[in-house]
């Protein structure tokens, strides 16, 4: 049932804001907006680096610390790329952290480790994609609300992860996997995990901006009904998107195995919230239809850098979390102002 | 009679939305205890006017006096406090709440200011329902379980739960059976006997004759006649007032009658039906032909179009494109077979409002510009540019944001989408809604040119002159059935309005 009275009240301010935004965007071509947003986030990152450099001059700018920050950003970063696609399509994936946990423990069971490097990688990715498939089928063809379907996946994947490990840490004994995390494996000083993150980012950007898949994702998120009436298979698109998110979780799980040298059922705790927050401060609309990979990646870097600076200055986690919350609010408010009439 | 000031008097009310002047100086005067009917075609400004009256829209200009005193209706609450209640056509009830909770929503009887006294609300609701002739409705039942007619009664009970002096009813009979309509009229009579005024909106002239005291006719945002006697004004005069035009539309020239008869139909609709929406429909569409569906809102026009397109699944019958039947309920199959739709709600159903013109035009043809999924954006942009140029869309810039375009140019972008796709059948649902009068002629010319180039067009419009001026053949719909089919040149507007209102197929 609609409520005409309330709708009517909203109409006037919205249209006023719209026309303001219209003037705005008629002055500069579509697309430049992304860059402006990303630039402001880049500015925030620069400020943070300066703050880090001033408060902890020796530690923060040390090569090893920068490598650490980037490595930490890599795992959640890969998850965030997948999340960005899902949010741009108007959905949400609350199960990413739980899928990372499940994939990481499944890939590190004694039985899997017998198959070595390939076995671990394959299992992590397959579990991620499998969970994504379940999410996608429930949402696209079972017509479940994404929030509910992925919430259910969150609960059951975590439960299954606990079931597999029985709460124990599963140590990785495959040397070829562990070798990826050691200093000798760095390429020109860049950790392999960071390279994976970079590759996922570049591919994600290309797919979102240069392929029919990306265009359809934006269309489904911007106006699912219009997309359907334009002849797009909206349901199949949704299925693919949750598969993609699951795939990213699988890759992230493998990266986490390399990083930690083990698999644990507590892995990926609250990744869903970090990934959503990073995408949002990166300029992705939670209602769908607009978002950028570059913004999301910058969002991840901002959060990771804050965590690092706080840790270097021996500040409590509690303060850290408050700062994160404040940054989310500030970023969204600033973006809405700079976009005047943005539909968020 | 004592010279009493009218209960409500609105003078020179104006209201504009971006690109549309919805109310252009409307006057309305309502006396206590009368049933004042508001007539007008779709888009005449009726809904905007009652939203102003309900405090939901703020007028840009004009004066409102209430019992002789000037007032501003700043919010729905302000209007309610004065005693103005509105029953909207789309009922605004909350399905999960009970009848009593809905009736007293926002003004619940409370103890100590915040504890809701449910039993008091239920008792009061039961009394209201009894007064409305529906004591069988249980105040404790969730509204979602009630029939449409019962929900209407609940809506009315909510209106009466306030101290009310004026009730606005927006097409209250649309969802009702004949005997329920009788009950509605009895309620209206009871209310007016108590001195309550009723503003009654309906498309059905015979209802207005039965219960109305006076009639105000709206057209193009103006009151073209105020306070006509409802019983004695001839139908012809009312219809003439509703349709008399200030602006003459310029329609493109049509090919001679029967030009397409020899051609093989590109679209055939056989016995297509959806229960509760429209009775079996047959129609044939030949290349080069524009066929119009004329009818009121709720007559099934848009539903037929969307079912042909597969956006709604047919309960029976079939759709054939060039002799090949389409699977029911598949938009993709329809698009692949060469059907395109310009939907009724352009912004909600047609466009990606955050995107550029180019993205909006190419969205149905993306794979043509892709190799293994990779878009050739230059080719895409060039093709979209070509298509919008052919329709002389302005600005001539495929990168412009679609939301910065006028309604007419947005519609051209939708047409360009299907032009680019190269479709054979174009379904147009209210193609000129929200399009400035001046831009319409251009759009008409574009549509005719597309037809001349071999496209078959099925046109739906609530503006009768548009259907008559643009189409070659016309099907007149009333309440889900085709009541008349004729060459557009053999019909005039009065005849069509008679048909859609009275449904009498014989002259």
Contact A181/B at CB under 8 A: no
Pairing of strands B316-321, B110-111: unpaired
Provide the residue range defining the domain that includes A113. Answer: 32-338
- Chain B residues with CB under 8 Å of A225 CB are 348-349
Nearest one of B158, B56, B37 to B108, comparing CA atoms: B158
**pLDDT > 90 in chain A, percent:** 62
Please give the pLDDT value at position B405: 86
- The minimal CB distance from B375 to the residues A210, A231, A232 is found for A210
Contact A342/B at CB under 8 A: no
Judge: B56–A19 Cβ closer than 8 Å, yes or no.
no
In a domain, A1, yes or no: no
Residue B383 tokens read as: 């093709």
Judge: A219–B363 Cβ closer than 8 Å, yes or no.
yes
Q: How many CB pairs under 8 A join A and B?
A: 125
- The minimal CB distance from A8 to the residues B56, B349, B355 is found for B56
Residue B414's φ and ψ, nearest 5 degrees, are: -65, -45
- Chain A residues with CB under 8 Å of B58 CB are 12
Please give the pLDDT value at position B417: 95
Please give the pLDDT value at position B245: 54
- Cα of first residue to Cα of last residue in chain A, in angstroms, is 23
Judge: A227–B352 Cβ closer than 8 Å, yes or no.
yes
Judge: B352–A223 Cβ closer than 8 Å, yes or no.
yes
Nearest one of A219, A249, A56, A228 to A135, comparing CA atoms: A249
Query: Which CATH fold would you assign to the domain B267-353+423-502?
Result: Rossmann fold (3.40.50)
In a domain, A216, yes or no: yes
> Please, are residues A332 and A344 in contact by the beta-carbon 8 Å criterion?
yes
Contact A22/B at CB under 8 A: yes
Q: Is the whole model's pTM more than 0.80, yes or no?
A: no
What whole-number distance in Å separates Cα of residue B178 and Cα of residue B371? 60
- Chain B residues with CB under 8 Å of A89 CB are none
Of the residues A3, A5, A220, the best mutation for testing chain B's interface (the one with the most B CB atoms within 10 Å of its CB) is A5
Please give the pLDDT value at position A344: 33
Q: Which of residues 54-113 of A touch B (CB under 8 A)?
A: none
- The minimal CB distance from A289 to the residues B18, B354, B399 is found for B354
Please give the pLDDT value at position A3: 41
What is the residue-level pLDDT of chain B in tens, covering all 507 positions? 456 788 999 999 998 876 667 888 899 999 999 999 988 776 678 888 999 999 988 999 999 999 989 999 888 888 988 999 988 877 678 888 899 988 988 778 777 777 777 888 899 999 999 988 888 999 999 988 888 788 888 988 998 888 899 999 988 877 677 778 888 898 899 899 999 999 998 877 778 888 899 999 888 788 888 888 888 887 777 777 776 654 556 788 888 888 888 899 999 999 999 998 899 999 999 999 999 998 876 788 889 999 999 999 999 999 999 999 999 999 999 999 999 999 988 888 999 998 999 999 999 999 999 988 899 999 999 999 999 999 988 889 999 999 888 888 999 999 999 999 999 999 999 898 877 766 788 899 999 999 999 999 999 987 788 899 999 999 998 888 898 999 998 988 888 888 877 655 444
What whole-number distance in Å separates Cα of residue B347 and Cα of residue B357? 13
Residue B340 tokens read as: 């395109």
Task: Return the axis-axis angle of helices A192-210 and A293-312, rounded to nearest 10°.
Answer: 150
Please give the pLDDT value at position B227: 82
Residue with tokens 């493998």: A254
Please give the pLDDT value at position B91: 67
Consecutive H or E run containing B133: none
Read off the DSSP letter of residue B139: T
User: How far out from the chain centre does Cα A317 lie?
Assistant: 22
DSSP-derived 3-state class of residue B169: strand
Q: Which residue of B has its CA nearest to A291?
A: B354
Residue with tokens 């939907």: B343
- Chain B residues with CB under 8 Å of A31 CB are 356, 399
Cβ count within 10 A of residue A333 = 10
Consecutive H or E run containing B291: strand B290-294
Question: Closest approach of chain B CAs to the CA of A216, in angstroms?
Answer: 8
In a domain, A311, yes or no: yes
Pairing of strands B425-429, B339-342: parallel
Please give the pLDDT value at position A184: 83
Of the residues B102, B145, B355, the best mutation for testing chain A's interface (the one with the most A CB atoms within 10 Å of its CB) is B355
Residue-wise burial string across B431-453, b where 16 or more C-beta atoms lie within 10 A, e elsewhere: bbbbbeeebbbbbbbbbbebbee
Contact A235/B at CB under 8 A: no
Cβ count within 10 A of residue A278 = 29
Judge: B375–A3 Cβ closer than 8 Å, yes or no.
no
Judge: A4–B88 Cβ closer than 8 Å, yes or no.
yes
- Chain B residues with CB under 8 Å of A226 CB are 343, 348-352
DSSP-derived 3-state class of residue A3: coil
3-state secondary structure B235-284: HHHHHHHHHCCCCCCCCCCCCCCCCCCCCCCCEEEEEEEECCCEEEEEEE
In chain B, where the domains are located: 8-243, 267-353+423-502
How far, in Å, are A301, B107, B130, B152, B229 from residue B143 at the CA level?
50, 18, 17, 10, 38
Contact A232/B at CB under 8 A: yes
* CATH code of the domain in which A127 resides: 1.10.3470
What whole-number distance in Å separates Cα of residue A187 and Cα of residue A180? 11
Judge: A1–B92 Cβ closer than 8 Å, yes or no.
yes
- The minimal CB distance from A219 to the residues B17, B92, B352 is found for B352
- The minimal CB distance from B76 to the residues A5, A29, A212 is found for A5
Q: Which of residues 259-298 of A touch B (CB under 8 A)?
A: 289-290
Question: Closest approach of chain B CAs to the CA of A341, in angstroms?
Answer: 12
3-state secondary structure B318-367: EEEECCEECCCCCHHHHHHHCEEEECCCHHHHHCCCCCEHHHHHHCCCHH
Pairing of strands B20-30, B8-17: antiparallel
pLDDT in tens, A261-285: 999 999 999 999 999 999 999 989 8
> Please, are residues A97 and A76 in contact by the beta-carbon 8 Å criterion?
no
Rg (CA), chain B: 25
Residues 6 or more apart from A273 whose CB is under 8 A from it? none
In a domain, A26, yes or no: no
Nearest one of B178, B196, B192, B186 to B133, comparing CA atoms: B186
Question: Closest approach of chain B CAs to the CA of A41, in angstroms?
Answer: 22
Residue with tokens 């909006």: B360
Q: What total number of domains does chain A contain?
A: 1
Please give the pLDDT value at position A35: 58
Question: Closest approach of chain B CAs to the CA of A82, in angstroms?
Answer: 18
Question: Closest approach of chain B CAs to the CA of A317, in angstroms?
Answer: 39
Contact A11/B at CB under 8 A: yes
Residues 6 or more apart from B49 whose CB is under 8 A from it? B10, B13, B23, B26, B28, B38, B218
Cis-peptide, bond into residue A120, ω within 30° of zero: no
What is the residue-level pLDDT of chain A in tens, covering all 344 positions? 334 433 333 333 334 444 444 443 334 444 444 556 677 788 888 999 999 989 888 888 898 999 999 999 999 999 999 999 999 999 999 999 999 999 999 999 988 899 999 999 999 999 999 999 999 999 999 999 999 999 999 999 999 999 999 989 999 999 999 989 888 888 888 999 999 999 999 999 999 999 999 999 999 999 999 999 999 999 999 999 999 999 999 999 999 999 999 999 999 999 999 999 999 999 898 889 989 999 999 999 999 999 899 888 888 788 888 888 888 888 778 767 655 443 33
Dihedral class, residue A46 (left if φ above 0, else alpha if ψ from -120 to 50, else beta): alpha
Query: Does the domain formed by B8-243 have CATH 3.10.20.340?
Result: no
- Chain B residues with CB under 8 Å of A11 CB are 17, 57
Q: Which residue of B has its CA nearest to A225?
A: B349
User: How far out from the chain centre does Cα B474 lie?
Assistant: 19
pLDDT in tens, A151-160: 999 999 999 9
Cβ count within 10 A of residue B371 = 9
Task: Return the axis-axis angle of helices A63-88 and A293-312, rounded to nearest 10°.
Answer: 140
What whole-number distance in Å separates Cα of residue B53 and Cα of residue B56? 8
Contact A8/B at CB under 8 A: yes
Contact A340/B at CB under 8 A: no
- The minimal CB distance from A213 to the residues B309, B334, B373 is found for B373
Contact A2/B at CB under 8 A: yes
In a domain, A14, yes or no: no
Residue-wise burial string across A3-39, b where 16 or more C-beta atoms lie within 10 A, e elsewhere: ebbeebbeeeeeeeebeebbebbeeeebeebbeebbe
- Chain A residues with CB under 8 Å of B356 CB are 30-31
- The minimal CB distance from B311 to the residues A5, A229, A343 is found for A229
Judge: B364–A231 Cβ closer than 8 Å, yes or no.
yes
Residue A332 tokens read as: 């969204």
Contact A12/B at CB under 8 A: yes
- The minimal CB distance from B331 to the residues A26, A219, A229 is found for A229
Residues 6 or more apart from A332 whose CB is under 8 A from it? A280, A281, A344
DSSP-derived 3-state class of residue B219: strand
DSSP-derived 3-state class of residue A60: helix
Nearest one of B465, B19, B472 to B249, comparing CA atoms: B465
> Please, are residues B295 and B477 in contact by the beta-carbon 8 Å criterion?
yes
Cβ count within 10 A of residue B494 = 15
Composition of chain A by helix, strand, coil, percent to 5: 75, 0, 20
């Amino acid at each position: 049932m609609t409520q005409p009275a309330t709708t009517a009240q909203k109409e006037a301010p919205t249209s006023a804001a719209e026309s303001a935004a219209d003037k705005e965007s008629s002055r500069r071509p579509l697309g430049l907006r992304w860059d402006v947003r990303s630039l402001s986030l880049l500015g925030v990152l620069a400020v943070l680096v300066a703050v880090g450099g001033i408060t902890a001059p020796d530690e923060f700018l040390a090569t090893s610390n920068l490598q650490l920050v980037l490595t930490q950003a890599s795992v959640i970063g890969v998850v965030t790329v997948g999340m960005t696609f899902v949010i741009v399509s108007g959905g949400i994936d609350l199960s990413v952290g739980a899928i990372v946990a499940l994939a990481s423990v499944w890939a590190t069971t004694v039985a899997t480790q017998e198959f070595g490097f390939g076995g671990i990688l394959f299992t992590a990715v397959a579990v991620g994609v499998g969970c994504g498939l379940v999410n996608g089928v429930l949402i696209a063809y079972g017509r479940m609300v994404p929030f509910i379907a992925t919430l259910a996946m969150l609960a059951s994947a975590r439960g299954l992860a606990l079931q597999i490990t029985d709460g124990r840490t599963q140590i990785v004994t495959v040397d070829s996997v562990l070798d990826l995390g050691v200093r000798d494996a760095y390429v020109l000083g860049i950790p392999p995990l960071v390279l994976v993150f970079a590759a996922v980012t570049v591919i994600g950007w290309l797919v979102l901006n240069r392929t029919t898949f990306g265009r359809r994702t934006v269309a489904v998120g911007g106006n699912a009904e219009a997309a359907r009436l334009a002849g797009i298979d909206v349901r199949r698109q949704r299925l693919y998107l949750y598969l993609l998110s699951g795939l990213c979780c699988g890759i992230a799980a493998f990266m986490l195995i390399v990083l930690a040298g083990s698999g644990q059922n507590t892995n990926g705790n609250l990744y869903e919230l970090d990934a959503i927050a990073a995408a949002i401060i990166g300029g992705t609309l939670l209602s769908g239809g607009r978002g950028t990979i570059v913004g999301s990646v910058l969002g991840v870097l901002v959060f990771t850098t804050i965590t690092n600076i706080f840790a270097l200055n021996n500040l409590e986690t509690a303060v850290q979390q408050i700062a994160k919350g404040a940054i989310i609010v500030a970023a969204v408010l600033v973006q809405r102002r700079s976009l005047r009439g943005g539909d968020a | 009679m004592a010279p009493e000031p009218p209960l409500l008097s609105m003078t020179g009310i104006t209201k504009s939305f971006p690109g549309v002047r919805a109310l252009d100086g409307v006057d309305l005067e309502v006396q206590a205890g009368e049933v004042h009917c508001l007539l007008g075609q779709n888009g005449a400004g009726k809904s905007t006017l009652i939203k102003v009256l309900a405090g939901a829209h703020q007028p840009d200009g004009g004066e409102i006096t209430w019992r002789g005193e000037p007032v501003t209706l700043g919010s729905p609450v302000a209007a309610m406090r004065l005693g103005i209640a509105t029953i909207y056509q789309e009922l605004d009830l909350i399905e999960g709440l009970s009848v009593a909770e809905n009736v007293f929503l926002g003004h619940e009887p409370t103890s100590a200011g915040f504890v809701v006294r449910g039993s008091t609300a239920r008792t009061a609701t039961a009394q209201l329902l009894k007064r409305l002739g529906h004591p069988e409705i249980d105040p404790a039942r969730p509204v979602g379980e009630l029939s449409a007619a019962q929900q209407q009664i609940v809506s009315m009970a909510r209106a009466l739960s306030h101290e009310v002096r004026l009730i606005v009813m927006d097409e209250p009979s649309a969802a009702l059976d004949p005997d329920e309509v009788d009950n509605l009229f009895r309620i209206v009579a009871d209310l007016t006997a108590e001195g309550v005024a009723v503003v009654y909106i309906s498309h059905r002239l015979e209802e207005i004759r039965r219960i109305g005291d006076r009639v105000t006719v709206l057209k193009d945002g103006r009151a073209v006649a105020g306070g006509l006697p409802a019983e004695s004004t001839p139908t012809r005069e009312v219809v003439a007032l509703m349709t008399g035009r200030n602006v003459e539309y310029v329609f493109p020239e049509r090919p001679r009658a029967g030009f397409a008869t020899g051609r093989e139909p590109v679209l055939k609709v056989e016995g297509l039906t959806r229960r509760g929406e429209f009775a079996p429909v047959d129609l044939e569409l030949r290349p080069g032909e524009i066929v119009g569906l004329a009818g009121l809102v709720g007559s099934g026009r848009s539903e037929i179009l969307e079912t042909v397109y597969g956006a709604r699944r047919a309960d029976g019958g079939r759709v054939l494109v060039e002799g090949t039947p389409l699977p029911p309920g598949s938009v993709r199959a329809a698009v692949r077979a060469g059907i395109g739709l310009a939907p009724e709600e352009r912004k909600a159903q047609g466009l990606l409002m955050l995107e550029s013109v180019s993205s909006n035009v190419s969205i149905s043809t993306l794979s043509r510009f892709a190799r293994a999924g990779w878009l050739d954006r230059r080719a895409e942009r060039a093709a979209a540019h070509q298509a919008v140029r052919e329709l002389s869309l302005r600005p001539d810039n495929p990168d412009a944001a679609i939301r910065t375009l006028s309604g007419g140019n947005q519609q051209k972008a939708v047409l360009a989408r299907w032009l680019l796709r190269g479709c054979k059948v174009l379904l147009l649902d209210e193609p000129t809604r929200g399009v400035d009068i001046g831009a319409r002629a251009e759009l008409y010319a574009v549509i005719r040119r597309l037809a001349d180039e071999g496209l078959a067009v099925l046109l739906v419009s609530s503006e009768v002159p548009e259907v008559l001026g643009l189409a070659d053949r016309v099907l007149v719909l009333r309440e889900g059935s085709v009541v008349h089919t004729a060459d557009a040149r053999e019909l005039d507007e009065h005849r069509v309005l008679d048909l859609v209102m009275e449904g009498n197929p014989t002259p």
